[in-house]
Amino acid sequence: MSDPQQVPSDARPDAECSRAGCRNLAVWAVVWRNPKIHSPDRRKVWVACDEHRDFLRDYLAAREFPVVVERLEVAAGVEGAT
């Protein structure tokens, strides 16, 4: 993603949770990057259900990746999102 404000198409309000094996409706966007390989303007987005939001955030934070959790409908509403 070249635009740091763009949320990928799989981060829509009808998306499934990114946790392996989970098919729950995602309501959170877990926005992160790996500073060792991603430029500051690059963001990756995982989507999470209520049950797995903290798990996914903590997984990334334990690796010292910058991570922010936003309501999915807020993240998906970012101008320029697909």
- pLDDT 10s digits, 28-43: 999 999 999 999 999 9
pLDDT at 12 over 90: no
Confidence bin at 72 (pLDDT 50/70/90): confident
Domain count for the chain: 1
Residue 57 has a pLDDT of 98
Residues 6+ apart with CB under 8 A from 39: none
For the residues 44-62, what does the mean pLDDT come to?
Answer: 97
pTM of the model: 0.73
pLDDT at 3 over 50: no
For the residues 47-64, what does the mean pLDDT come to?
Answer: 98
Domain that holds residue 62: 1-82
CA distance 52 to 56: 6
